[in-house]
């Protein structure tokens, strides 16, 4: 498979702090890749650079062979990158359908009126919220707010979907629902880069993962081998427990 996303020697500094240090990895077309690491390892900073929320200090990021390094978020989104966030970001004054319709107005072939409403309902059904478009989004459970956020990301027709701890905070039943939703996207051929701490999900969804620690890559390979790597175990548990 060819690489859809290429990260080449990317570094991000905040003053004297190096949050991401000379990081390189690829995500192949149709792959679901996990970007792992303990808290503070630089995972979300890397996601922010891919989506344009942050500019890298050095290095290159390419999407489908074209550079996106340093482009503003709206231009990167227009090229086919959509994302969710660690904390759900919804439009609380709007209903469920309107949250998705708002996203449809900003994609490359903007949809309006009944066409947009019908497409929003299709996307909501895809995310497990069929016939719930008229409910106020602020009244939804946490998992259902995450479904809305996922439907809104899919409204952009992304080539690359970034999921930043999308499964965080879910109870065991909700977690299995979330894993099934991502598995359905994988089956459809979507390319996904996910930051995740739930190892059950990583094992179920990702055949490959990249692990960071203190801003640097410490492992890249098949999931079962990487999660058994002594350096990865030390990064998560510390020397004494490893």
Would you write out the chain's pLDDT as a tens digit for each of its 242 residues?
689 999 999 999 999 999 999 999 999 999 999 999 999 999 999 999 999 999 999 999 999 999 999 999 999 999 999 999 877 888 889 999 999 999 999 888 889 999 999 999 999 999 999 999 999 999 999 999 999 999 999 999 999 999 999 998 899 999 999 999 999 999 999 999 999 999 999 999 999 999 999 999 999 999 999 999 999 999 887 764 54
Let me know whether 76 and 182 are in one domain. Answer: yes
Angle ∠(42,3,231) on CA atoms, nearest 5: 40
CATH code of 171's domain: 3.40.50.300
Please give the helix or strand (H or E) that residue 12 lies within, else none.
strand 3-14
Interacting residues of 180 by C-beta distance below 8 A, sequence separation 6+: none
CB distance 213 to 235 below 8 Å: yes
Instruction: Say if residue 98 is in the same domain as residue 145.
Output: yes
Largest CA distance in the chain: 60
Q: Are 114 and 74 found together in one domain?
A: no
- Domain shared by 169 and 223, yes or no: yes
Among 124, 139, 157, give the residue marking a domain's end. 157
Q: Around Cβ 165, how many Cβ atoms within 10 Å?
A: 18
One domain for residues 52 and 24: yes
- Which residue range(s) make up the domain with 109? 89-157
Assign 170 to helix, strand or coil: coil
Structural domain count, the chain: 2
- Please tell me whether residues 93 and 199 are part of one structural domain: no
**b/e 54-66 (16+ beta carbons within 10 angstroms → b):** bebeebebbbeee
Q: Do residues 153 and 167 share a domain?
A: no
Q: Where are the alpha helices (DSSP H) in 55-112?
A: 73-78, 96-104
Residues 62, 125 within the same domain: no
Enter the tokens of residue 175.
């977690």
59 with 118, same domain: the answer is: no
104 vs 155: CA distance, rounded Å: 6
Q: Which of 102, 137, 157 is the last residue of a domain?
A: 157
Clarify whether residues 70 and 130 are in a common domain.
no
pTM over 0.75, yes/no: yes
Same domain, 118 and 173: no
Reported as half-sphere exposure (CB side, CA atoms, 13 A), residue 224 has a value of 1
Residues 98, 191, single domain; the answer is: no
Tell me which of 157, 188, 204 is where a domain ends.
157
How far is residue 94 CA from its own chain's centroid? 24
Kindly report the number of other CB atoms within 10 A of residue 82's CB atom: 22
Angle, vertex CA 12, rays to CA 10 and CA 14, nearest 5: 170
Whole-number Å distance between alpha carbons of 216 and 61: 16
């Amino acid at each position: 498979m060819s690489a859809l996303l290429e990260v080449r020697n990317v570094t991000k500094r905040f003053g004297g702090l190096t949050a991401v240090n000379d990081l390189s990895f690829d995500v192949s077309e149709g792959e679901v890749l996990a970007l792992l690491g303990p808290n503070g390892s630089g995972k979300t900073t890397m996601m922010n650079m891919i989506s344009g929320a942050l500019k890298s200090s050095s290095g290159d990021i390419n999407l489908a062979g074209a550079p996106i390094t340093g482009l503003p978020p709206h231009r990167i989104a227009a090229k086919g990158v959509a994302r969710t966030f660690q904390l759900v970001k919804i439009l609380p004054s709007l209903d469920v359908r309107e949250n998705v319709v708002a996203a449809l107005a900003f994609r490359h072939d903007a949809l309006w009126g009944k066409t947009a409403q019908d497409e929003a309902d299709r996307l909501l059904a895809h995310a497990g919220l069929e016939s719930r478009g008229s409910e106020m989004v602020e009244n939804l459970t946490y998992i259902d707010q995450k479904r809305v956020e996922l439907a809104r990301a899919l409204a952009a027709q992304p080539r690359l979907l970034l999921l930043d701890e999308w499964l965080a905070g879910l109870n065991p039943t909700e977690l299995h629902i979330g894993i099934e939703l991502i598995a359905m996207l994988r089956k459809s051929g979507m390319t996904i880069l996910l930051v995740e701490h739930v190892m059950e999900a990583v094992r179920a969804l990702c055949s490959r993962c990249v692990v960071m620690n203190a801003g640097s890559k410490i492992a890249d390979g098949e999931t079962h081998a990487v999660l058994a790597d002594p350096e990865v175990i030390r990064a998560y548990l510390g020397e004494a427990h490893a």
